[in-house]
Amino acid sequence: MIKTRIRSAFLAGARGLALMVLSLTASVALFSFTLVSLALIPVGVGLLTTPVVLTVLRGYAGRRRLLAGAWSGVRVPTPYRPVPADPRGGLAGRVERCVLLLKDPATWRDLLWLPVDMTAGCVIAVLPAALFLYPVESLVLVAGLWRLFTTDGAYWYGFVPVHSQATALLTLPLALAVFAGALRFNPALLRAHSTLTGSLLGPTHEMELARRVDQLTETRHDAVDASAAELRRIERDLHDGAQARLVAMGMNLGTIEALVEKDPAQAKKLLAMARASSAEALTELRDLVRGIHPPVLAERGLGDAVRALALRLPVETEVTVDLPGRAGAPVESAAYFAVSEVLTNAVKHARADRVLVDLHHADGMLRVCVTDDGQGGAAAGKGSGLSGVERRLGTFDGVLAVSSPAGGPTMVTMEIPCALS
């Protein structure tokens, strides 16, 4: 236990020292360069230099966000608005990019954070290192090196004057108290520094609302587009499939009426053709209905629907389901068709021999993980299939994550926030 606390205090001190160095070097330099670049905007030079400086500043701020999460567990979301790399190209594009960056409120929050990081942030960052290193000075004094510091009088260690070996020994209790403080407070001080960073580099409530509005607008457009595409698909399938067969069957029945007395043998042949057409039309209608909302999904739930889907695949597929209840019908439908698209990709494009599907619900999330042993490479560029899955999940605030190194395996993870009933 004590070893763990010493290790945590030492890591906090070392990390605080690194953050202090960053605050006194990178933060100071970027703040100076940014102010100079902004001041040069009226003469035109700043329009070219400011996008470069602000891009570097965003990269530095992003790195500090990552350090806050990795070292202290303080998650700091990125609040920037999307900016094209070169909106129009050429000089006009650079000027437009500069304007877009300056219009982003997150840019000015980054600039406000720099002086805070150079002052308060620097002080908070150095405290864990000071608390851990200050007791080392006491050991130096006890070792007899106090003589090097007392040439002109007593050397003060905190509130203890050191002018002899006996007084040097009196610094040990104070050093132990400081060391105990380091063990207790160092991780908290580092977390305080990360919290200060997050309070300025993270999005404000208004920025979160604006981002949420943009996200909802985008998902609404995606949902409308997906619905329109689905309606076009249904109309096309009906027109090219069942409707054509029903029209042909009606024509055959009309011909049968004319031939039933004159040529019964030919009428029987046409009746057989009409019966075959009706069976094919019924099959196509059932397939169409299954493509809209599979009956097994409505009757038995997502787990059994995915199992039924796996049985139709030409590769070995293992399905694991841990769902204590059922999600809403729209969520189940979205998850089912998302899994169907991912499985289709695994069979057609990944050339997989084995596929594993895991469905479970935890922490208010429906999680689906599809893993195949195919050739990989799916994450290099999301094709229309995975993009469609991402848009489908985005309608429900769901997310899609793909891990697919060259040579495989490929793991596609989908999450949809929902409650089970």
| pLDDT, tens digit, 9 for 90 and up, residues 21-35 | 999 999 999 999 999
Give the ranges where 238-292 is alpha helix by DSSP (H).
243-259, 264-292
Mean pLDDT of 272-295: 67
- Amino acid identity at 137: E
State residue 78 phi and psi, 5-degree precision. Answer: -85, 125
How far apart, in whole angstroms, are the C-alpha atoms of residue 161 and residue 152?
13
pTM over 0.85: no
In 3-state terms, what secondary structure has residue 155?
strand
* Owner of token pair 């205090």: 9
pLDDT of residue 203: 82
- Give the model confidence (pLDDT) of 41-80 as tens digits: 888 888 888 988 998 999 999 999 999 888 888 888 888 8
The token pair at 326 is 């059922």
pLDDT of residue 73: 85
Q: Which has the closest alpha carbon to 113: 71, 64, 50?
A: 64
How far apart, in whole angstroms, are the C-alpha atoms of residue 287 and residue 69?
49
CA–CA distances in Å: residue 145 to residues 133, 148, 159, 241 = 16, 6, 18, 95
What percentage of the chain has pLDDT greater than the value 70? 80
Q: Tell me the CA end-to-end span of the chain in Å, nearest whole number.
A: 43
pLDDT of residue 335: 85
Residues 6+ apart with CB under 8 A from 370: 339, 342, 343, 346, 355, 356, 357, 358, 411, 412, 414
How far apart, in whole angstroms, are the C-alpha atoms of residue 324 and residue 302?
11
CA dihedral 198, 204, 208, 211 (to 10 degrees): -100
Determine the Cα angle at 233 with ends 232 and 234, to 5°: 90
Which of 192-196, 282-286, 313-317 has the lowest average pLDDT? Answer: 282-286
CB count in 10 Å sphere of residue 151: 7
pLDDT of residue 196: 92
Determine the Cα angle at 24 with ends 22 and 25, to 5°: 65
Confidence of residue 381 (pLDDT cuts 50, 70, 90): very low
In 3-state terms, what secondary structure has residue 359?
strand
Q: What is the DSSP letter of 6?
A: H
How far apart, in whole angstroms, are the C-alpha atoms of residue 313 and residue 347?
8
The token pair at 129 is 């290192």
How far apart, in whole angstroms, are the C-alpha atoms of residue 266 and residue 277?
17
pLDDT of residue 411: 86
Q: How many residues does the chain have?
A: 421
Mean pLDDT of 204-227: 67
